[in-house]
């Protein structure tokens, strides 16, 4: 599907698919990684493992972008994030949504020097973490 989609948009010379298990395989070399709706599937220890793995694999100045339906730090206003969190709690063994403050703390603990959050359309928030 990826290759068909990329070819249909004329990007075959710019994008390549690397299959693998992000827990056990090395990450392909890149300046930017995106973990979109990935962390909410996993428990805290697994999230911290993935963030550290991305940090270690990035070059200086490289960026990890994490996006999920992050909950506001007070856990009061983002109904979509709270409901999706309930869904993840039911659907996965250790998953849930989390706050921007949580993500910022994990990313800083992994070593990232600069961490910035931006709200996206559609209820998700992206956190940009630069090494």
Q: Is 77 a catalytic residue?
A: no
Binding residues for ligand SAM restricted to 34-53, rule: CB under 6 A: 36-38, 41
Cα separations in angstroms, 7 against 2, 32, 34, 123: 9, 22, 21, 29
Q: Does 94 bind ligand SAM (CB under 6 A)?
A: no
Q: How far apart are CA 131 and CA 53, in angstroms?
A: 12
Among 9, 18, 40, 77, the one annotated catalytic: 40
Q: How far apart are CA 120 and CA 11, in angstroms?
A: 25
Point out which span in 5-13, 33-41, 54-62, 77-85 binds ligand SAM (CB under 6 A). 33-41
**How many other C-beta atoms can be found within 10 angstroms of the C-beta atom of residue 15?**
12
Query: Considering beta carbons, is residue 5 or 23 the nearer one to ligand SAM?
Result: 23
Question: Which stretches of the chain bind ligand SAM, using CB under 6 A?
Answer: 21-23, 36-38, 41
Q: What residues are annotated to the active site? A: 40
């Amino acid at each position: 599907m990826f290759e068909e989609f990329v070819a249909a948009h004329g990007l075959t010379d710019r994008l390549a698919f690397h299959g693998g298990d992000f827990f056990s395989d090395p990450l392909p070399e890149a300046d930017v990684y995106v973990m979109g709706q990935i962390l909410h599937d996993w428990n805290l220890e697994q999230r911290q493992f993935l963030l550290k793995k991305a940090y270690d694999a990035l070059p200086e100045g490289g960026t990890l972008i994490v996006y999920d339906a992050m909950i506001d730090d007070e856990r009061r206003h983002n109904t979509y994030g709270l409901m999706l969190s309930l869904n993840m709690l039911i659907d996965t063994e250790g998953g849930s949504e989390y706050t921007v403050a949580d993500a910022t703390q994990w990313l800083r603990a992994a070593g990232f020097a600069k961490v910035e959050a931006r709200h996206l359309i559609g209820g998700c928030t992206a956190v940009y973490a630069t090494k």
